[in-house]
Every structure is written in C-alpha cells, then in structure tokens.
Amino acid sequence: MVSEESPLLASTGHPLIADRFTLHKKRWIMYVVSFAGILPMFVQATFVPSIPQIAKDLNSTYATVSLSISLSILATAVGSLVWAAYSSFYGRRSMYLLGMPFLCAGSCGVAMSTSLRGLLFWRFVQTFGCSGGLPLGAGVIGDIYKLEERGTAIGVFFGATLFGLAFSPFIGGSAAQYWSWRNLQYSIGLWGLLEMLLIYLSFPETSRPGALGIDKLTRRRWIHLTWINPLSSLWLLRSPNLFAVMLAQALVLISDYALLVPMAYTIGVRYGITNEAIIGACFLPNGLGNFTGAPISGRLSDIVVRRWREKRKGLWFPEDRLRMTWIGGLIMVPLSAGSSGLIMMYVGGPIGLSLNLLCLFFNGVGVDFVFGPIASYNVDVMHSQSAELTAASAAVRSVIISIATALVIPSIERIGVAWTYVIAAILALIGQGIIFLTIRYGDRMRASVDVGFTTKEND
C-alpha cells in the first residue's frame, strides 16, 4: 500500500526482467508496435478528406456520412478497453493477432459498402479492430524497458503514431482527389494483413513471465475463454492523480484538434485553398512537430527523472517526470494556438499561410512535450496495468475531445477563429495548472486512493 508516511516509490525496475530482450530485439519490437500504433490514426485521419466523395457515391449528405466519425470514436474507445483488458489475461501478442482480422474485414466491408447503414457497420468493425494499437503499444514498452528508458521509448512510439495522424490526411486527400476512396480502404485492409503476418512471424510475447492471467490457471482447456469486464479499467481513474493527468492531456490535445479538424474552413477558406490534397498537405507541419517533439521530450523526461532521483539520493517521485511538460504546456501550445488565430485574422497571403504552418509545427512539438511525459508517467506508476490505464485514459479523453471538437466549427462561426483559438490556449494553460498541482501534491493524491501503484516489489 501507498501511504502518506511513505510517499516515494523507491523502485528502479528489475534489470534481469527488463533485459530479457537484446537491444536489437527491443528496437525491432518498437518498430512493429509503432506501425500497429499508426494504424488507428491512419484509419481515422484518411477518412475525413474522403467524406465528400463517399457522400456522392452513396447518394447521401456530408453531414450524414460524418456520423461515421463519431461512431469511429466510440469504436476506438470500446476497442481500446477490450484489447487492453484481455491483454493482461491472454497477452499482448494474442490481442494484436485477434484484432487485425477485424481491421481487414472491416476495411474490405467499408470499401464494398453501397449504403450508409453498411458503411457505419463496417466502419465500426474496422476501427474496433485496430484500436488496440496505442494501449497495447504502451503496455509493451512498459514490459521491456526500465524506468530510466521508458520516456525515450514512449517518445519514439508516440512520435511515430502522431506523425501518422498528421500525415494521413494528405494521403486521404490525395486518394480522394486522384484515386478512389474504395481503393484506399482496400489498401488499409492489406496493411492490416501484412501487420498481422509480421506480428505472427517475428513478434514475441512481451508480458513478464507468470504475470498473465492464463499462466496462473492450474487447469485450462485448449481454447480457454474467459469473460473480463473491459469497463473495469475505467475504475483506475478514480485515483485523483491519474484522473488529473488524463484531464490535462485532454485539455492540451483540444488545441491540436481545434487547429487541425476545421482546417478546410479556416486555413482553406482564409487563403483560398480548395484542392483536397493541398489541404491535406497543410497537416504535415503538425506531424513533423510530433515526430520531432516526441523523442526529444521522452529523452529529456528520462534525464529529469535521473537528476531528481540523484538529488534525493536515490528516492524517486514519479511526478518528477511531469516537470518536463512545462515547456510545452506553458509556452509552446498556448502561444502557437493563440498566435494562429490572430495571424489567420490579420495576416493574409503567403506570409500568413507560412506563419500558420509554423504555428502548426510548434503546436505539434508542444503537444508532445505534454503528452509524452504524461504517457510515461502512467506507465511508471501503473506498470502492471499500463495497457489498461492507457486504454481507460484514451477512452475518457476521446469523449472529452469529441465534445470539444463538435463545438469548434460552431464557435468559429459565432465568435471567430481568433477567440476560438484563444480559448483553446487558455484550456491548455488550465491543463498545465492541473499538472502543477499533481507535481506538488502527487504523493498525497496517490495515498488517498491506492489503485495498485508501482512499488519496488511489483515493478
């Protein structure tokens, strides 16, 4: 148990367990899970630019087809909880292999859809199948890396996945403009099949020996089916510190979505860009920022952990890692979001467009300077349930962001783009205030509700 009398978690991890895999093998595992992590981002982001073409082919409207986006968010939340919960019983590898057939079948179903009802059904199946990419990837990293290495590893992982999120609209827009949305969906299905073969042939089970639920059974059938409540992961967020950092992540990510989702209505309209492929290309600076910021923030957060532990003569506060969020949460994210709105309002022409793209880049870097250390913190404090916590946080965060995203365009129409982005900047600052309180009172927050935090005995 964690108590206020013993607030520090004095654990550095067990080297023998963390060193089960060679450095080369760890890098290969990271490569595989990063590609699996890109898939849900790619599935989501490539669909948006295709909506006009899909609506035309199905004799529907833009608004009606857009319902599939909300349905995808629901499927992602549900799928994340399911794959994470069952990964603790059957293992990470098994859940990757079980999810990919859903993705393949769903992608082919979306490509062959001739009605809106069929499109919505297969879209749910598709996104459900690939939604385990992020929580399972975080769990794998917690399995194979030591405390001082996790920040860098998670930074690389999230950098790859978030770069996929930003790069995907360009591919989706190009496919809608010059190819076919149906062929794009078939290509996603093929990607899922190749990923499944890659995992089957070269990806080992990373869960710690004897830690899986199925390993603890004294008697089991050849095919052993067990019911696990996927919603039980949400109960982890009753811990004040876990809920606080999840909320802070959501408030910072709102700025990212506020800049990216309405891009056709903001940058596109303001600077006269109508080509879907070019609008998709405007997402790239944000993706480059993600790709740049994630590994840097991860490595720096590892350095912060080591330095503060040395300063305390070996004692470890897990909240020390959150100190790395200040650069992004206090400076880069608020300034980039607020500046983008003002530039869009007052600066036209190529100069205004270039400055907005620069803001998108710095926003991508800043978001990762907040997102990455928090993701590493979650793995640090809930090592044995890192996949479940990542899934629970993502599910609740998705609900918050989906509500905020639905309000962005109405807000722009009602109060203007500048004020909308200023509000997004203020929300990011509020999120950073929550992180500051978590750093200051983290020991008491953990002591108030112990949900099985990492200790020297269970790391």
What is the gyration radius of the CA atoms in the chain, in angstroms? 22
Residue 276 has pLDDT above 80, yes or no: no
Q: How confident is the model at residue 10 (pLDDT cuts 50, 70, 90)?
A: very low
Q: How confident is the model at residue 214 (pLDDT cuts 50, 70, 90)?
A: low
d(CA 458, CA 385): 11
Look at residue 13 in the predicted model and tell me its pLDDT. Answer: 45
User: 105 or 391: which carries more pLDDT confidence?
Assistant: 105
| CB 126 within 8 Å of CB 109 | yes
Q: Tokens 């939340």 belong to which residue?
A: 77
- Whole-number percent of the chain with pLDDT over 70: 88
User: 360 or 262: which carries more pLDDT confidence?
Assistant: 360
Four-residue CA torsion sign, 377, 382, 386, 388: negative
- Half-sphere exposure at residue 338, Cβ-oriented, CA atoms within 13 angstroms: 14
What CATH fold (topology level) applies to the domain 15-206+233-448?
Growth Hormone; Chain: A; (1.20.1250)
367 residue type, one letter: V
Q: How confident is the model at residue 6 (pLDDT cuts 50, 70, 90)?
A: very low
Q: How confident is the model at residue 361 (pLDDT cuts 50, 70, 90)?
A: very high
Q: Which residues contact 80 (CB under 8 A, 6 or more apart)?
A: 131, 132, 134, 135, 390, 391, 394, 395
Q: Which tens digits make up the pLDDT trace of 228-248?
A: 777 777 888 888 999 999 999
Residue 341 has pLDDT above 60, yes or no: yes
Residue 1 has pLDDT above 70, yes or no: no
Nearest CA to 324 out of 415, 404, 439, 185 is that of 439
Look at residue 336 in the predicted model and tell me its pLDDT. Answer: 93
Highest mean pLDDT among 116-120, 155-159, 258-262, 386-390: 116-120
- Whole-number percent of the chain with pLDDT over 90: 16
Look at residue 260 in the predicted model and tell me its pLDDT. Answer: 80
Look at residue 101 in the predicted model and tell me its pLDDT. Answer: 92
Mean pLDDT of 95-121: 89
**Longest Cα–Cα distance in the chain:** 71
Alpha-carbon separation of residue 253 from 48, 246, 313 (angstroms): 18, 11, 35
pTM: 0.76
Q: Tokens 């953990």 belong to which residue?
A: 446
Mean of the per-residue pLDDT values of the chain: 81
Look at residue 342 in the predicted model and tell me its pLDDT. Answer: 92
Least confident of 44-58, 180-194, 336-350, 434-448: 44-58
Q: How confident is the model at residue 339 (pLDDT cuts 50, 70, 90)?
A: very high
Least confident of 73-77, 108-112, 153-157, 384-388: 384-388
Look at residue 135 in the predicted model and tell me its pLDDT. Answer: 82
Look at residue 428 in the predicted model and tell me its pLDDT. Answer: 93
Mean pLDDT of 160-186: 77
Mean pLDDT of 35-45: 83
d(CA 38, CA 71): 19
d(CA 427, CA 252): 7
Q: Which tens digits make up the pLDDT trace of 78-99?
A: 888 888 888 877 788 888 898 8
Look at residue 35 in the predicted model and tell me its pLDDT. Answer: 84
Residue 362 has pLDDT above 90, yes or no: yes
Residue 170 has pLDDT above 90, yes or no: no
Look at residue 395 in the predicted model and tell me its pLDDT. Answer: 82
In the chain, domain spans: 15-206+233-448
Q: Which tens digits make up the pLDDT trace of 122-148?
A: 988 999 988 888 888 878 887 787 766
Look at residue 431 in the predicted model and tell me its pLDDT. Answer: 92
Residue 24: count other Cβ atoms within 10 Å of its Cβ.
Answer: 8
297 residue type, one letter: S
Length, in residues, of the chain: 459
User: 147 or 388: which carries more pLDDT confidence?
Assistant: 388
DSSP labels for 238-302? GSHHHHHHHHHHHHHHHHHHHHHTTTTTTHHHHTT---HHHHHHTTHHHHHHHHHHHHHHHHHHH
Secondary structure of 127-150 in HEC code, one letter for each residue: HHHHCCHHHHHHHHHHHHCCHHHH
Q: How confident is the model at residue 388 (pLDDT cuts 50, 70, 90)?
A: confident
Collapsed DSSP state (helix, strand, coil) of residue 306:
helix
Q: Which tens digits make up the pLDDT trace of 367-383?
A: 989 988 888 888 788 76
Look at residue 2 in the predicted model and tell me its pLDDT. Answer: 44
